[in-house]
């Protein structure tokens, strides 16, 4: 369902614990400025080592938000790691019966993939309270307002500076992807959907180029890179080798896989671990046009009623 002024947004911590209360409060303020009402569950700030509480606690928090008829959407405090630990503990029957707008990125990639695999449920790769909404820029706000209000035909026109064409063309497909490490970690699990004829979007943070190379090799050997219609690369800016300020090693890794493909491939798009990101509706059909430098949604991402 589309979001409306006064919509109640349940905040969950499925991965790491809330590590910066100032960022958290700033993120809540930005959500309130959009006319939304954040709801803080009991135990949100619990910790267990690097996690936001134990596995049962984190899964129960999400299950309770889905069972609460007064909750319209679910956003996440931050990423980190931990979502894959709780997938077997989620109440999938309740989730199926009570669809919500769900938004997050990074480790939340695992949840997006599981939702799409089990239900073909559209969710949203976008800001989290401590990672994005705390410094929400115009890209997030504009795409949030248009996409989640039920707009049809939302289109991004990218600047030349944020649109590197590895291979040109026009292609359509459903937007599937997320964080590269999490995506590869889901391969071979019972929660991984088949990825075919999609527009694959991927991003990464703080991985050495050698690790990015290994992850991309895993995607290729899995058959995914050979079965998608287009590829969108988001932010990889923190993936340079130590001492390699020019990013030569990273460019080598990316060019090795994307430099000679016969499908549209573009890099430098504003999504991933950056402050001012666009919101990508996971599972929605879209069109990429490298000549026009546009990404256009071909379907509504939310139901109007």
Q: Which residues are catalytic?
A: 106, 203, 273
Per-residue DSSP letters for 108-151? GHHHHHHHHHHH---EEE--BTTTBGGG--HHHHHHHHHHTTT-
Structure tokens, 51: 């996690």
**Residue 259 neighbours by CB under 8 Å, 6+ apart:** 166, 167
CA terminus-to-terminus distance, the chain: 6
CA 65 – CA 138 distance, rounded (Å): 29
Structure tokens, 8: 């109640």
- Whether 227 contacts 196, CB under 8 Å: yes
Containing 83, the helix (H) or strand (E) segment is: helix 83-86
Per-residue DSSP letters for 211-236? HHHHHHHHHHHTTSTTS-SEEEE---
**Residue 12 neighbours by CB under 8 Å, 6+ apart:** 41, 44, 58, 61, 62, 65, 74, 75, 76, 77
CA 187 – CA 197 distance, rounded (Å): 17
Structure tokens, 201: 């979007």
**Helical ranges in 160-229 per DSSP H:** 180-186, 209-221
């Amino acid at each position: 369902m589309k979001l409306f002024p006064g919509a109640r947004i349940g905040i969950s911590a499925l991965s790491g614990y809330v590590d910066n209360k100032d960022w958290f409060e700033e993120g809540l303020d930005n959500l309130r400025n959009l006319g939304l009402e954040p709801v803080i569950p009991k135990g949100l700030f619990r910790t267990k080592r690097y996690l936001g509480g134990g596995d049962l606690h984190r899964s129960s928090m999400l299950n309770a938000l889905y069972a609460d008829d007064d909750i319209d959407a679910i956003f996440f405090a931050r990423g980190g790691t931990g979502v894959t630990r709780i997938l077997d503990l989620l109440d999938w029957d309740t989730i199926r019966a009570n669809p919500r707008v769900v938004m997050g990125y990074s480790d939340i990639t695992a949840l997006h993939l599981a939702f799409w695999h089990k239900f073909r449920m559209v969710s949203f790769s976008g800001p989290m309270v401590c990672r994005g909404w705390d410094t929400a820029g115009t890209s997030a706000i504009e795409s949030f307002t248009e996409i989640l209000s039920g707009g049809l035909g939302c289109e991004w026109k990218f600047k030349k500076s944020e649109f590197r064409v590895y291979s040109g063309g026009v292609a359509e497909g459903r937007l599937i992807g997320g964080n590269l490490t999490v995506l590869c970690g889901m391969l071979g699990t019972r929660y991984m959907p088949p990825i075919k004829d999609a527009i694959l979007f991927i991003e990464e943070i703080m991985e050495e180029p050698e690790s990015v190379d290994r992850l991309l090799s895993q995607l290729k050997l899995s058959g995914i890179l050979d079965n998608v219609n287009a590829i969108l690369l988001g932010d990889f800016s923190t993936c340079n080798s130590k001492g390699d300020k020019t990013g030569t090693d990273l460019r080598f890794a990316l060019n090795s896989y994307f430099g000679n493909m016969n499908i549209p491939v573009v890099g430098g798009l504003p999504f991933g671990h950056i402050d001012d990101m666009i919101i990508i509706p996971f599972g929605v059909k879209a069109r990429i046009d490298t000549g026009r430098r546009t990404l256009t949604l071909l379907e509504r991402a939310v139901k109007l009623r």
